Structure 1
């Protein structure tokens, strides 16, 4: 097919291989395999069939692989034809390569397994979004933390920029990821098989203020093409690619992301109309149609976000009214930040208040999405090339709507009740006025030798179509939205309302009781058993190949004279980023100065946008009375708060740059030499493993009568710091569940201290004492089910000013989410 295209260009005197084509054909869309996939100003066409892309965002890195099949099955049953995922660079290249050509640190096995399952087992198209910047509430926005060591380090924004070093490393990533997924593209599969249909460059670049964005975008474009990507390329919220005249960027189309308030769904229709006008040679795709919202430490849980089932329905239908021929719900399944991979300030839960909840349960949004999926399945082909949009309404109450007309004359009437409190019932008159005339239902033979409906562009000479006003009878609940489908030539009374009412999920009647934990084993981290190494001067954690979010230790031993002991009253630390530490001096906890910054969450919210400088001391302690003449020892527990997912903080490495004693709280007078341990001792001693022998640990009782808060901020036990890092282990067995019934489980916890939790050896994420999250998902694939089997839940907690006190734990069955197994 490329030969046909080249011949046509040569006939016009154009060199198809020139990078400097300068006629209208310069920016004409070129598709390497147009018989497999192409697009125009209406929609994407796959193997000769017009398709409305109905896509669900589902990130493989936020879900245990054992549960992928369950999530895919639910997505498929809701009527989706596509799934979408980001591809995080830092997930796949966790250690710093030796040089720009070193690809030995890449591991794409889970990505390939996810694509294979989606495409081959469930028959879903896939969309991939490899960044290099993702945002996504993910550590570093996808950038590896070791990449910060490659930047200029002068306080300037570097990542996402056109800096040559940044572009060089971004191409290093794109070269690897493009090669990894190239074989999974639709264009590499046999006809009729599913594969990758779209590949994204960068992400929401409009939100980042850096010059010369086109330089990075063009470098990514070339890298993708040079390394085997031949499906269409796209961006989102990146105006450099919106109707670009550049020979390369003109081959990339832009998309929009819709996050709107509960009563602002009409803006989706208007924005889609504007998107399609701004790039008339590309389809209208919503890369991220709001499926909910994330939750922040000390903020609100996702379940408290305004986005509900009515909202999801309204923004979906209004996007279609505006001419969208591609919808991707972000998120359709959110998942969990296992092992602390969420960005700085994020909760462990990434439930997102999505249609498929964190634990796999189905919310009311799922039923909405399923209804829309059925509508698209029935009418998607007609709607793909329909014309129209919002129009004037004469209606009772607060109404918004419009009409789209298919090539065969089918009318799609979209109506939305804007009133959040009152239903509307009665006659609505639509006044379409002049509209673009839909293409006549005539067939033509296109340049690819296919029999296809003539494009809208082929009939523009027919002029505009003037449609008379007409009325329909409506009955919409508060914030309700529906579509009336009127067959060609029929009156409105003959129309059929969509989406159809969903069949409610049958919930089994269960009487399973929570398991309240009465006892725990407790041990202090034996820091002397940690694996200690000498710390090179000024070395950050990424320079030591520590690029994840573990808790690490620092240690120093030194001698003081009697005079020095009396003068040195302060311990000061200069950090690479605004992380937090706890300190013991000769075995006694040191009191932090500035109590208003006494916990990690305050630093997250107050210090996240401030860069640490080499002369700043931001972790300060009062050590008066703790030092002694002769030998002294200081041990530090370092809490890596996570890698920020935007702007300056994501450019900083982690770790302690310098630390020492001082006679004042502002100037270091006695620098100290340090050792470091990459992990706390309990990790290297495998305290988190189920088979670990904890017989020598202290047995403690837990509260079994008081109510454990389900959520909330600052409701943790109030204690005092007694050490650095404390471990707890609890055991429990689950009650038997009736055969054929699925029940999700969670741990409800009341504890102080920040750290990680392990379920039967699997890291299930962070515990933040500040909240609001108090319930943590226990994936069923990592649980041992039944009364005769034992489960181990292990906590490793850095002591805060409230210590690290495990007060109460209950293992809670999700009765309200239970379902019959299929």
Structure 2
């Protein structure tokens, strides 16, 4: 098992409530802001201060690189409407410097514009500048050209690497640092590096980290910063032990994994699962968190890694197409509560012992936070069944849902003249509206309603209700929550200030939105979603939204500081979206012209042996290779070539074979004479290089590369199996050499298994290669990866020392005496973190002394996509050459104002490839998660005609391809308006 899987493993472990093993568990500290920035962003051991005010940071992870610029505003506003006050982003290197020295910060790549828009919307930003990102992104964000720099080693103190990082940072960091909060921008924190093996928090383990720090500070970093991240996990709170007296800074999670990248859409239970995990953070003294991801987006073009394709939906709160999922409302509820009581949560200590007797039921867990501004008591039902709970001092019984953490507020000053003594009813939010403060209470009809206030000065009831009782300076709202199809309002006044209480059911708070316009705050209740709010004089205009499939909308109420206004009652039927769009007749054009015997290669990259994909600067997932063969005798030949991805060979323009390049060889029937060999290669995404440190020139190479051999006969490659394992006590066991094999100390071992139980360890791995065929002159053993250091022995003699996991290496045996007998291969493996062992297959190559095939040319890319010549009508009689092929068609969309119809291209019955709509690359197919079709961003569609182009690398015909609807993600907008006081 390779360490590239350690993040996936960590999430599995955390599902079983086992703490993931990370370096950041040792240090989750932050570097303090500079003196110039401290008045704007600062922290102490209890919380975060923004502009001098205690601020709970509720952050939404999204990547501007996965969203077209035209949709940035829409996605950011959805984030804001969910109560988030911050976004967290990566500034992915190969998104901005795909071609060496060519920096792109324009259009969809305009980071400055994205941060400015974030600021305009009143959101903060946490910027993770890298230079490594992970993110299930191509090469973890490294530009492909880095692979070809001599002596370069990533993520360590290495001059070549730091040279190119510095050059990138020279362009990137001014964009970020000029937008720090103390300079009027949204940036409140910066992360250097990401998920490194060694340096998290404030740990500076080596010169590389020191270099990053020095560079950033020299270029003007002033806000708080940290290395790698803080508390990454699917359940960051674990058991809630945040009360570390040694921590000099607040507790924050930069990656709270909300759902996972293997999922499309919502699944049952997501909302309750992540609801509990979020409230665990709040209840145990956490000071903020960032959901990774709140909106996943799309891997456009060739940006996906080998674990995904076009969709990066993540099962997120905001879907790939902008639709809202049930978990969105869970996040919204927690966000508004945390922000409403941030004065408590950002300046509190654990005071659970004071309230330990509040509930008699011992199955209920009590956690409390105490602060100068009040207390919050959290009642936790950890069980899987609903639990009735009776509280001291409250009439009636609370019913806690399975896994629910229920907050009670005590002694909280709403205004200088009004204290909330006890809120036994859950508070959704507290909203300041000039001389009105609105409390939104979350209570199901018929459930106990109990809010107890004390006031200073005279108090009068504004609302006459038997539930609202005033006795001197005591105000109580008690009884049973009423049944109502709109929020129930209760108000009282002290002096010139009004306290308004809106009591809502859970479904009503789901449809309640807190919006602002030019310093005024408005509450909108009843709409499935509320977008823009615009006020012109006494007229207010509000954009609301309902799901496309909804048949009616509810009454929508507006609450200003002075009044409640019924905005609209709309009984219009939902829009019907056609199931699909008609495609024009298909045309096709061969993509295999480079296989032709006489194809020109004047502009191709020439080399003695083939070079891995990207050597010519191409960043796509496709490449062609060509050479000449001189065959002395007709027959079956074995061609051996190292490579990664898929391949298709042509001899003299004729299809000859297809294979997975990882297999290492193919057999070809070749006639005597001179021939042209062309090889088309493609891959489905590069490794994200999680936790990888070292050279990347030989890691996850794609295409074909290195010496190529051709020999009559074969095949000559086989896997080395039948391995055994014996544990070693420590590294000193290596000093005694390879032990003798026996079946007592050695036990069967399966390649890929973790031999060390996720811990540091040492062990012997051995197998016996049977006697080889007579005349074998040389054999080569190829190790794709061992985890992590290995010493290799042949018949007890040490022959190789190798360090580093996920780095291929070989040993060659040419001793005639050794080759005449069975060969004992023994490995001593040292594992220093996480899982370890032989994590990938080991192959035995008996081709021996074979002729090399030299004189290669290569050209990356799928060819001339936009070339107008060469297209032909596709029909049942069309004779299409085997291999990659372009197809094009057209469709018509009738775009209607106020409608967001979501369309996808379903590549049904196709092989592997890419899709373009109106020149925009939608990404790679086939998808690797359960989603049908590639999302077409609505901003990329034309009213009327639209062009669809497909490049299928396998040459499969598009007769079953359709443009299909996704009505569940569609929306209809309504603009509601009214006069207000």
Provide closer, same or farther for how the CA distance between residues 29 and 178 of structure 1 changes in structure 2, counting only shifts above 3 A. Answer: closer
Measured on the aligned residues, the alpha-carbon RMSD in Å equals: 3.5
Q: Is the 8 A contact 1:31 1:232 kept in 2?
A: no
Match of 1:798 among 941, 946, 953: 953
Partner-residue secondary structure (3-state), 2:227: strand
SS in structure 2 at match of 1:368:
helix
> Contact 2:264 / 2:931 at 8 angstroms: preserved in 1?
no
**Are residues 1:227 and 2:219 paired?**
yes
- What is residue 344 of structure 1 aligned with on the other side? 306
Partner of 1:637, secondary structure, is strand
How has the CA–CA distance of structure 1 residues 360 and 401 changed in structure 2, closer, same or farther, with 3 Å as cutoff?
A: farther
Structure 1 residues 351 and 543: CA distance shift in structure 2, 3 A: closer
Residue 866 of structure 2 is aligned to residue 698 of structure 1: no
Relative to 1, partners in 2 of residues 1:698 and 1:106: Cα closer, same or farther, differing over 3 Å? Answer: closer
1:706-764 alpha-carbon deviations (Å, 9 max, x no partner): xxxxxxxxxxxxxx996221222232223565x42322222223123211111111110
> What is the match of residue 15 of structure 1?
none
Query: Partners in 1 of 2:918 and 2:372 — Cα distance?
Result: 58
Partner of 2:625, secondary structure, is strand
**Counterpart position of 2:244:** 277
What residue is the counterpart of 2:531 in the other structure?
Answer: none
Deviation at 1:701, TM superposition (A): 10
Q: Quick check: which has more Rg, 1 or 2?
A: 2
Picking from 249, 253, 257, the partner of 1:286 is 253
| Contact preservation (8 Å) 1:520, 1:701 | no
Matched, 1:402 2:402: no
| 1:726 to 1:288, Cα distance in 2 relative to 1, 3 A | same
Aligned twin of 1:185 = 180
2:858 corresponds to which residue? Answer: 676
Could you tell me which residue of structure 2 aligns to residue 450 of structure 1?
A: none
* TM-superposed deviation, 1:305: 6.7
Structure 1 residues 183 and 471, CA gap change in structure 2 (3 angstroms): farther
* Superposed displacement of residue 164, structure 1: 4.7
2:649 to 583, 591, 612: 583
Quote the residue 1:418 is aligned against. 382
In the alignment, does 2:39 pair up with 1:38? no
Q: Which residue of 2 aligns with 1:622?
A: 667
Is the contact between residue 409 and residue 420 of structure 2 (CA under 8 Å) also seen in structure 1? no
Distance 1:116 1:493 in 2: 39
Alignment deviations for residues 320-358 of structure 1 (CA, whole Å, 9 cap, x no partner): 112122221111111000012022232210001111100
Match of 1:159 in 2: 154
Are positions 1:552 and 2:652 aligned together?
no
Structure 2 counterpart of 1:656: 704
Distance 2:887 2:162 in 1: 46
Aligned to 2:115: 115
Per the alignment, do residues 559 and 28 of structure 1 end up closer, same or farther by CA in structure 2, a change over 3 Å counting? closer
Aligned-pair CA distance for 1:222: 0.9
Distance change (3 Å), C-alpha of 1:124 and 1:545:
farther
Specify the alignment match of 1:813 in structure 2: 965
1:24-76, CA deviations, whole angstroms, 9 ceiling, x for partnerless residues? xxx98754432222211122222221211121112110111111111111112
**TM alignment of 1:414-813, pairs within 5 A:** 414-420=378-384, 422-427=385-390, 473-488=397-412, 492=422, 496-498=426-428, 500=442, 501=506, 502-504=509-511, 505=528, 506-507=546-547, 508=550, 509-515=574-580, 519-525=585-591, 526-527=593-594, 532-538=603-609, 540-541=611-612, 544-546=615-617, 548-561=619-632, 563=633, 565-566=634-635, 569-575=637-643, 578-592=644-658, 598=659, 618-624=663-669, 627-646=670-689, 652=699, 653-658=701-706, 659-663=708-712, 664-666=714-716, 667=847, 668-683=850-865, 686=866, 692=868, 696-699=872-875, 723-735=882-894, 737=896, 739-768=897-926, 772-785=930-943, 789-799=944-954, 804-813=956-965
For 1:530 and 1:773, the matched residues in 2 are separated by: 41
TM-score by structure 1 length? Answer: 0.72
CA contact (8 A) 1:471 1:492 kept: no
After superposition, the C-alpha distances for 1:229-286 in whole angstroms (9 at most, x for unaligned) are 111112345xxxxxxxxxxxxxxxxx212313xxxxxx61635x34x51752111111
Structure 1 residue 208: deviation in Å?
A: 8.8
Is 2:912–2:952's contact at 8 Å kept on the other side of the alignment? yes
Aligned in 2, Cα 1:53/1:620: closer, same or farther, shift over 3 Å?
same
Count, aligned residues:
652
Counterpart contact for 2:132–2:140, Cα < 8 Å: yes
More helix by share: 1
Q: Confirm whether residue 87 of structure 1 aligns to residue 86 of structure 2.
A: no
Alignment counterpart, residue 55 of structure 1, candidates 42, 55, 59:
59
Residues 544/491 of structure 1: CA separation in 2 closer, same or farther (3 Å cut): closer
Change (3 A) 1:106 1:304: closer
Q: Aligned pair 1:328/2:278, yes or no?
A: no
CA–CA separation in structure 1 for the residues paired with 2:423 and 2:43: 35
CA distance in 2 between counterparts of 1:589 and 1:54 reads 57
Q: CA deviation at 1:107?
A: 4.2
- Which residue of structure 1 aligns with residue 471 of structure 2? none
CA distance in 2, matches of 1:307, 1:143: 36
Q: Secondary structure at the match of 1:644?
A: coil
- CA 1:580/1:320 → structure 2, altered by over 3 Å: closer, same or farther? same
**What is the CA–CA distance in structure 2 between the aligned matches of 1:669 and 1:45, rounded to whole Å?**
70
Deviation at 1:212, TM superposition (A): 8.1
Deviations 1:201-237 (A, max 9, x none): 112224799x983332222111110111111112345
**Distance in 2 between residues matched to 1:377 and 1:769, nearest whole Å:** 38
Q: Secondary structure at the match of 1:130?
A: strand
Distance 1:307 1:682 in 2: 47
- 1:73 match: secondary structure: helix
